[in-house]
Amino acid sequence: MNSSSKDKITTSQAVVIIINYILATGILTLPRASVEKVKTPDVWISVFLGGIVAMIAGVIIVKLSQQFPDKTFYQYNQEIIGKWLGWLISACVIVYFFTISAFEVRIMAEVTSLFLLEGTPTWAIILPFLWVGLYLISGGINSIARLFEIIFPITFVIFLLVAFLSLGIFEIDNLRPVLGLGVMPMLKGIKTATLAFLGPEIMLLLVAFMYPSDKSKAVKVVLVGITIPLLFYVITVVMVIGALSIEGVMTRTWPTIELMRSFEIPGLIFERFESFLLVIWIMQIFATFTITYYAAVLGLAQLFKKSIHPFLYGLLPIIYIIAMTPKNVNDLFKFGDKIGHAALILFGVIPVALLLISKLKGDKT
Amino acid sequence: MWEKVISYVPHWQVFMQGFLAFLIPFLIFKLFNGFLLVKKNNGKIDIKEQANQSEKVHKPIQKTLEQFTGNYNVDLAQMRKEIGHNWDVHFREFHIGNTGNRAAIVFLKGLCDKELIDKHILTSLMNCHTENPTIIKGYELQQLIKNEVLPVSDLREESNVMKSVGRVLTGATVLIVDGITSVFIIGTAHGKTRNLEEPISEALVRGPRVGFTEKLSVNTSLLRQHGENQHLSIIQMEVGERSKKELVIAYIDEIVEPNLVQEVKKRIEKINLDDVAESGYIEQLIEDNYLSPFTQVQSTERPDRVIAALMEGRVAIILDGTPFALIVPVTFNMLLQSPEDYYERWLPSSLIRLLRYLAAGITLFGPSLYIAFVSFHQGLIPTKLALSMMGTRQGVPFPALIEALIMEVAIEILREAGLRLPKPIGLTMGIVGGLVIGEAAVQAGIVSPIMVIVVALTAISSFAIPQYNAGITLRMLRFIAMFSAALFGLYGIILFFLFLCSHLVKLKSFGVPYVSPTVPYRAGDWKDFMVRMPLKMMKHRPRLLKPKDTIRKGD
């Protein structure tokens, strides 16, 4: 119903959507979250492995979706495992999507009120953000894809620029020794690192929106779409740990911003670059927020077989209330962890099961 | 357990805010939807009323929609009844040569080529001598006049009275001859036109110095003169219910996508107006989204620009009576391009083009960045700069937003005032406004000197945009950016940017996404986007227009 010809996206758009979805809170929180688990400078290896785990999950998801090339996850899972169970899984996925969008909004509000707008109430920060997102989503997947294509190059250039500038305080000794305490600590960090790569699950829906001739390239889309954020994350982790050291990272809530604050380059128009980082980061959060919001709305519309509009507006207060529920930043991070665990089950286990079932069913008929 | 859950239930205010989060956009949505509905309804009513009116108007006309009888007196009286009361309509009666047949010409003073009438039509008719004059009547006379007497190329016969009246009013001369059941219509229209001049609104350093004029035939001939091209189609249409105007659609049928031409025709046919005064009316009536601040149709006075657009597979609309041709579809990058980009070598053109993008950015975000940094994020700018900015702002009694608004509004008023005044006074205005107000405002401590610099830079940047109306759009949006910066600082600017982008990606001009070729990524089209690659590399037409023939021949 929502896959009319104008709602098609190109391969590059699909890649950009995945990249923008993945890049979100992780840029600011991944260094601390993973260092807390690993406690050695080998974090970057964990991040690398986490990316590979995400790629495997992504490929499974794509394979599943390619079985039903013209349908979204919400439509085809009922065909695999029956009406009620399918309905239930769809409902869980929808809840997951709008919960994560609420989580992103709240993280954005926390960071913004800490670094940009001291004293502005949280609701005043969140509401306009929600409305701009709503305006974008009412244009459908095509508008979302195009907006992502506009903000991706900006992110790319500015990110590389600030990462390059922070080379000045980079010390390679902070990253040594490699595997000094063996492999075990590094393995502990994989789960945390994988959670930063939430995003390939959007392929459950995106394959239905791709041009028929491009659907075979969906695996490639996922691989490229994860590789680029992987590079971003590895660069971030290496730069942050290299500059702030393991101990320094653990004591800071937002280590990446602290990194940007800790150096000054005199002689340029700007001496400090955290504003640049925050600009691209807010754009990335906006991207993640809109795509998850859209995924949830689309799911509701397809589940109830109604038009997309009532859900578009109806979901706003729910997202807002969920976003306002965590009491403080620590609560928020715990909340994020819970979402991550839910994602591991929803998108790590269920797609494998569904793929197996559909293969078995396909063999029978 | 329950206590823990309850402790997470948000305050009731949060629920209120959540409700607001839903209500406000919903109301706006309803409002706009209502707006659109009202407009549609109005349209329907309009059409009905129009239909009623036109029936009323047409009925009496249909009664008199008579044929010429061939009886000279009756026919002449008929013509007189229809248009004889007009001061500028002339009736001249005479006899045709030695045949003794009575005849009359009817023409409009001022709109006709008097020399043609006097020297060729009247002279030939009055001096026509045949061998046996008395026999010639009716059909023979008609053939004689047509084949031997009148040395005019544009000659037609018409038997309908109303149609001949219409022709007289557009400048033709009608010849009524006794005994012939139809009249001759001689094309003598010769309206006053001005000379071809350089277009004032789009001057170039290098490039043809010729612009369109108010006369349609001159404009189309300018397109034809560009070079022999048998595929250049110029299709005639008519707009206006009461005062009918000619309008042509030009395209190159080998290149253009046929659906685009169909869409343009469809939209023009839908226009239902008494009078279409200027192509701006058409622009506003055929654009995709009338709520958008962006122009979705490009207007130009330059024939070379039109030709270049046609060669890319676009469609041009030229209306009689205005020098401004319209080009559709438009993409955002077109507003920042000038024909000169292609006439100069690629390196300077590319740099100038990049400069324009920078200028557009400054126009849009200059003052708002100043407001954001001064009132929210002093910590984000270099310390020395922050200190000097704060130092100059000392004693300024207003917040940064008011300060910026005072200057921005003043400069907009200056621009508007200077535009209407004759040139010498306009210059004085510039001096008075720029020097006196700027300098005095700083001296008086109303604004800070840095604010004056920001405002001046913004104003200059906005005029560096080659399309005048695109510049206005950006200047308009600049104010919204300023308000959002005053509310939320840098965050507000980011939100505004995202909002603007959201609007732009949703906008379409005749089925073509407005932001293309930026997105979706089409590397081929980027050769002519922010930079202008060497002509040798631009072998393909822009793919976004889906041209039939993608390769520019003769590379």
Cβ contact (<8 Å) for B380 and A266? no
Residue-wise pLDDT for B50-103, tens only, equals 444 444 444 444 445 578 888 888 888 888 888 888 888 888 898 888 777 888
Cβ contact (<8 Å) for A125 and B22? no
Cβ contact (<8 Å) for B21 and A317? yes
Please check whether residues B355 and B490 belong to one and the same domain: yes
Per-residue DSSP letter, A169? G
Q: Which of B169, B186, B203 is the last residue of a domain?
A: B186
B380 contact residues in A (CB cutoff 8 A): 270, 272, 274-275
Q: Say if residue B41's pLDDT is above 70.
A: no
Domain count, chain B: 4
| pLDDT of amino acid B491 | 92
Q: How far apart are CA A320 and CA A303, in angstroms?
A: 22
B491 contact residues in A (CB cutoff 8 A): 112, 116-117, 125, 282
Interface mutation target, options A13, A130, A150, chain B, most CBs of B under 10 Å? A150
- Measured between CB atoms, which of A112, A139, A270 is closest to B382? A270
**Does the residue B426 lie in any domain?**
yes
Please check whether residues B226 and B243 belong to one and the same domain: yes
- Measured between CB atoms, which of A9, A272, A317 is closest to B22? A317
Q: How many CB atoms lie under 10 A from the CB of residue B59?
A: 9
| pLDDT of amino acid B133 | 66
A150 contact residues in B (CB cutoff 8 A): 501, 505, 515, 518-519
**Does the residue A225 lie in any domain?**
yes
Per-residue DSSP letter, B376? T
Confidence label for A177 from pLDDT (cuts 50, 70 and 90): confident
Residue-wise pLDDT for B326-341, tens only, equals 998 888 888 888 888 8
Cβ contact (<8 Å) for B380 and A117? no
Please check whether residues B352 and B258 belong to one and the same domain: no
**Does the residue B13 lie in any domain?**
yes
With tokens 């894809």, the residue in question is A145
Cβ atoms of A51 and A187 closer than 8 Å: no
| pLDDT of amino acid B100 | 77
Per-residue DSSP letter, B240? -
Provide the domain limits for residue A214. Answer: 5-352
Please check whether residues B359 and B482 belong to one and the same domain: yes
Query: What six digits make up the tokens of A277?
Result: 């980082």
Cβ contact (<8 Å) for B506 and A139? yes
Average pLDDT over residues A79-106: 88
**Does the residue B520 lie in any domain?**
no
Domain count, chain A: 1
Q: Say if residue A223's pLDDT is above 50.
A: yes
Please check whether residues B51 and B78 belong to one and the same domain: no
Which range has the worst mean pLDDT, A31-35, A228-232, B245-249?
A31-35
A125 contact residues in B (CB cutoff 8 A): 488, 491
Q: Which of B295, B330, B365 is the last residue of a domain?
A: B330
| pLDDT of amino acid A209 | 86
Cβ contact (<8 Å) for B21 and A112? no
Which range has the worst mean pLDDT, A198-212, B176-190, B286-300, B523-537?
B523-537
Q: How far apart are CA B220 and CA B235, in angstroms?
A: 11
Cβ contact (<8 Å) for B376 and A117? yes
> Which of A291 and A265 is assigned the larger pLDDT?
A291
Please check whether residues B324 and B432 belong to one and the same domain: no
Interface mutation target, options B22, B333, B387, B515, chain A, most CBs of A under 10 Å? B22
| pLDDT of amino acid B354 | 92
Provide the domain limits for residue B261. Answer: 216-330
Average pLDDT over residues B469-493: 91
Cβ contact (<8 Å) for A271 and B383? yes
**Does the residue B195 lie in any domain?**
no
Please check whether residues B358 and B481 belong to one and the same domain: yes
Please check whether residues B77 and B60 belong to one and the same domain: no
| pLDDT of amino acid B47 | 44
| pLDDT of amino acid B37 | 62
**Does the residue A323 lie in any domain?**
yes
% of chain B residues with pLDDT over 70: 93
* B interface with A, Cβ–Cβ below 8 Å: 7-10, 14-15, 17-22, 24-26, 29, 376-377, 379-383, 385, 488-492, 494-495, 498-499, 501-503, 505-506, 513, 515, 518-521
Q: Write the burial class of residue B48 (CB in 10 Å: 0-12 exposed, 13-18 middle, 19+ buried).
A: exposed
Q: Which residues partner with B94 through β-bridges?
A: B103
Please check whether residues B306 and B346 belong to one and the same domain: no
A274 contact residues in B (CB cutoff 8 A): 380
**Please, which residues have CB within 8 angstroms of residue A79's CB and are 6 or more apart in sequence?**
A68, A86
| pLDDT of amino acid B58 | 47
Cβ contact (<8 Å) for A325 and B10? yes
Average pLDDT over residues B542-550: 75
Cβ contact (<8 Å) for A324 and B10? yes
Q: Say if residue B482's pLDDT is above 90.
A: yes
- Measured between CB atoms, which of B22, B503, B505 is closest to A316? B22
With tokens 């954001």, the residue in question is B372
Confidence label for B46 from pLDDT (cuts 50, 70 and 90): very low
Query: What six digits make up the tokens of B4?
Result: 């823990």
Q: Which of B306, B330, B354 is the last residue of a domain?
A: B330
Residue-wise pLDDT for B404-453, tens only, equals 998 888 888 888 887 787 877 877 777 777 777 778 888 888 888 888 88
| pLDDT of amino acid A4 | 44
Q: Which residue of B has its CA nearest to A139?
A: B506
Q: Say if residue A179's pLDDT is above 80.
A: no
Please check whether residues B45 and B156 belong to one and the same domain: no
| pLDDT of amino acid A331 | 87
**Does the residue A365 lie in any domain?**
no
| pLDDT of amino acid B38 | 60
- Measured between CB atoms, which of B26, B383, B505 is closest to A147? B505
Residue-wise pLDDT for B398-416, tens only, equals 888 998 998 888 888 888 8
Interface mutation target, options B13, B289, B519, chain A, most CBs of A under 10 Å? B519
| pLDDT of amino acid B51 | 46
| pLDDT of amino acid B62 | 47
The amino acid at A184: M
Q: Which residue of B has its CA nearest to A313?
A: B22
B15 contact residues in A (CB cutoff 8 A): 317, 321
| pLDDT of amino acid A49 | 87
With tokens 């001291």, the residue in question is A118
| pLDDT of amino acid B43 | 45
Q: How far apart are CA A54 and CA B423, in angstroms?
A: 68
Q: Write the burial class of residue B171 (CB in 10 Å: 0-12 exposed, 13-18 middle, 19+ buried).
A: middle
A130 contact residues in B (CB cutoff 8 A): 21
Degrees (nearest 5) of the Cα angle A183, A187, A192?
Answer: 150
**Does the residue A359 lie in any domain?**
no
Assign residue A128 the CATH number of its domain. 1.20.1740.10
Degrees (nearest 5) of the Cα angle A256, A262, A265?
Answer: 115
Residue-wise pLDDT for A136-151, tens only, equals 998 888 889 889 988 9
Cβ contact (<8 Å) for B382 and A127? no
- Measured between CB atoms, which of A146, A321, A325 is closest to B513? A146
Write out B270-289 in H/E/C secondary structure.
HCCCCCCCCHHHHHHHHCCC
From A50's Cα to the closest Cα of chain B, the distance in A is 29
φ, ψ of residue B237 to 5 degrees: the values are: -140, 175
**Does the residue B113 lie in any domain?**
yes
**Does the residue B294 lie in any domain?**
yes
**Does the residue A96 lie in any domain?**
yes
**Does the residue A277 lie in any domain?**
yes
The DSSP string of B117-174 is: IIIIIIHHHHT---SSTTT--HHHHHHHIIIII---SSEEEE-BHHHHHHHHHTT-EE
Confidence label for A282 from pLDDT (cuts 50, 70 and 90): very high
**Does the residue A363 lie in any domain?**
no
Please check whether residues B57 and B118 belong to one and the same domain: no
Q: Which residue of B has its CA nearest to A278?
A: B491
A287 contact residues in B (CB cutoff 8 A): none
Interface mutation target, options A6, A158, A320, chain B, most CBs of B under 10 Å? A320
Q: Say if residue B481's pLDDT is above 90.
A: yes
Please check whether residues B150 and B221 belong to one and the same domain: no
The mean predicted confidence, pLDDT, of chain B is 83
Average pLDDT over residues A223-232: 90
From A227's Cα to the closest Cα of chain B, the distance in A is 19
